[in-house]
A and B are shown apart, each in its own frame.
Chain A
Amino acid sequence: MSYKAVIIGGSAGSFQVITKILANIPAGFDIPIFLCLHRLKHVRTGFEEALSIKSTLPIIEPYDKQHIRPGKIYLAPANYHMYMELGNTFALSTEPPVNHSRPSIDLSFFSAAYTYKNKLVGIILSGANKDGALGLKQVKLAGGTAIVQDPNECQVKTMPTAAMAATDVDYIFTTDQIISFLKKI
Chain B
Amino acid sequence: MLSKEEISLFINVVKKVSTYDFSDYSERSFARRIDKILSDNKMEMSALITKVKSNPEFLERVVKDITVNTTELFRDPATWQALRFRVLNKFENQSVINIWHAGCSTGQEVYSMLILLNEMGLFEKANVFATDLNSDVLSIAKKGEYKYRFNIDYLDNFDKVINENPFNYEDQVSVAYSKYFQIDQTRDLLKMNDFLVNKPLFRKQDLINDGNIFYTKFDLILCRNVLIYFNHELQTRIFEMFHQNLFAKGYLVLGAHESMLGPVASKYVRKGLFYVKK
Contacts and interface: CB of A to CB of B under 8 A. Distances in A.
Interface residues of A, number: 28
A83 B1 CA distance: 12
B92 to A, nearest CB: 30
Interface string A77-115: 101110111100101111110000000000100110111
A80 B26 CA distance: 15
Given A93-B229, A94-B68, A94-B225, A86 B258 contact: no
Contact of B32 (A79, A110, A138): A110
A115 B27 CA distance: 11
A64 interface: yes
A64 B228 contact: yes
B28 A83 contact: yes
B140 interface: no
Interface string B229-260: 10110010000000000000000000111110
A66 B255 CA distance: 14
Interface residues of B, number: 25
Contacts of B258: 63-64, 92
Contacts of A66: 259, 261
Nearest to B2: A114
Interface in A48-64: 61-64
B209 interface: no
A65 interface: yes
Given A65-B235, A92-B228, A93-B228, A115 B255 contact: no
A107 B32 contact: yes
A114 B26 contact: no
Given A86-B4, A114-B1, A138-B1, A77 B256 contact: yes
B95 to A, nearest CB: 36
B27 A86 contact: yes
Contact of A92 (B31, B231, B257): B257
B29 A83 contact: yes
B70 interface: yes
A113 B1 CA distance: 9
Interface of A: 61-66, 77, 79-81, 83-86, 89, 91-96, 107, 110-111, 113-115, 138
Given A86-B28, A113-B1, A115-B28, 5 more contacts: A66-B259, A91-B27, A91-B229, A94-B225, A114-B1
16 contacts: A63-B259, A64-B258, A65-B26, A65-B232, A80-B257, A83-B26, A83-B32, A85-B28, A86-B4, A89-B232, A92-B228, A93-B32, A95-B33, A107-B32, A113-B1, A114-B1
Interface of B: 1, 4, 26-29, 31-33, 36, 68, 70, 225, 227-229, 231-232, 235, 255-259, 261
Counting from the closest, the 6 A-B pairs by CB-CB distance are A91-B26, A94-B70, A83-B28, A63-B259, A64-B228, A111-B28
